[in-house]
Structure 1
Amino acid sequence: MTNGDGSGLRARTRRAVRAELAATAIGLFVERGFDDTTVDDIAAAAGVSRRSFFRYFPSKEDAVFGDAEDVAGRVADAVTARPAGEPPWECLRAVLHDWREPIRAAHPDPALLRLIETTPALRARLHVKREQMRERIAAALLARGGLDAFTADLLTGAAGAALDAANRAWLRSDGALDHAELLDRAFTALRPQS
């Protein structure tokens, strides 16, 4: 029996298997390289069939970015839930500050981030996933009212650029710099002038 919210046993089991497959794939990608790791390698290491892998992920790239849609939806929901009178930029800043750890936790290892940055197929998939996320967040920002579509897109793109800059600085420091402080610096530098 399910609760209707995705917390039933079957849904939890599916999420656990998906997470295990993703962790196995990522471990192999970091160890061997993305291009040198096949779906068959991942399936064998995880103890499943190739067909089972494709039940959870449409491609090996998706094993790296599999939960991006869920995160995008939850971040958009967080934008919607912010106080109505809050300025849009401060709304985005607060939401990304609250979500910086879950977003970063999806790729906590600097080695994985370097792999994404240096692998054309992963960089391309990252770009697509980020655009999908930005579209959902911009729509949520627009739905709050008081903005036109252009400004919602612009602010959401700037917030994404702030997050990207913080991530790159964090990566260059091998994770030694405080990610929250980097994100705060980036948002401060890009704050729209009244």
Structure 2
Amino acid sequence: MSGDEEAAPGLRERARHAVRAELARLALDLFTSRGYEETTVEDVARAAGMSKRSFFRYFPTKEDVVFGDLELMAARIAEEIAGRPADEPPWRCLTAVLADWQDRIHAGQRELTGLRLIESSPTLRARLHQKRDELRALVAEALRARPGARLDAFTADLLTGAAAAALDAAGREWLRSEGRADRAALLTRAFALLEPRDAAPDVGATA
């Protein structure tokens, strides 16, 4: 196999990612100007110069175009959790990785627009909660699977739920501030307020 043939899958994936990103940008602009419920998949596809059938090759539903690559992001978060030091307390492991990802995905005004859109649509809020439940389960499992971890399912679920609540609270406060608040500082404060008193590595250990 030639070097060009080996590179082709990577090039195709980058091209696919670029199309998904452009579709998401166009969709957000249309949803914001026309309203989410009032904008159809056909409208988004037409703006992108593609057919409705082609749209569904990139996103399975209209709702999914709003949330981008949440599944991929969750998988990468799980990988990073697995790669953290084995003796790091689970809460600190979890919050360190999430804080790092928060910095990476922060997108300024466009993210602010997206959050407002989700808050304004019951359909999108419901979809977001569904996706978060699925992704939280993946992250909780990664936390339990760390080398040397002795977390039971209940504790892992509780820790990931608390971290998700901190992310939500920081996001809502940032939204209330019209994007002017220091979101990283809000998240650090939220994580500190929720940190377990006993942050030892064996918190939640099974008998």
Same fold per superposition (TM over 0.5): yes
Match of 1:138 among 131, 137, 140: 140
Task: Select the structure with the greater relative contact order (CA < 8 A; seq sep ≥ 6).
Answer: 2
In 1, the alpha carbon distance for the partners of 2:193 and 2:180 equals 21
**Root mean square deviation, CA, Å:** 1.6
For the pair 1:129 / 2:135, whether they are aligned, the reply is: no
| Equivalent residues in 2 for 1:19-168, closer than 5 Å | 19-105=21-107, 108-144=110-146, 145-168=149-172
Consecutive unaligned residues in structure 2, runs of 5 or more = 199-207
- Aligned with 2:75: secondary structure? helix
For 2:111 and 2:35, the matched residues in 1 are separated by: 15
Helix, strand or coil at the partner of 1:147: coil
CA deviation profile, 1:110-149 (whole Å, cap 9, x unmatched): 2220110120111011111111111111000011212111
Name 1:179's counterpart in structure 2. Answer: 183
Aligned length, in residue pairs: 192
Please state how far the C-alpha of 1:102 moved relative to its aligned partner: 2.9
The secondary structure found in structure 2 opposite 1:156 is helix
Q: Over alpha carbons, which structure has the higher Rg? A: 2
Calculate the TM-score normalised by the size of structure 1.
Answer: 0.94
User: Could you tell me the percent identity over the aligned residues?
Assistant: 60
Match of 2:193 in 1: 189
CA distance in 2, matches of 1:110, 1:32: 17
- 1:9 deviates by 1.5
- Contact 1:71/1:103, CA 8 A, preserved across alignment: no
Q: Report the 3-state secondary structure (helix = DSSP H, G, I; strand = E; otherwise coil) of the residue aligned with 2:142.
A: helix
Alpha-carbon contact 2:81-2:142 (below 8 Å) kept? yes
Compare 121-130 and 109-118 and name the one that shifted more: 109-118
Q: TM-score, normalised by structure 2?
A: 0.88
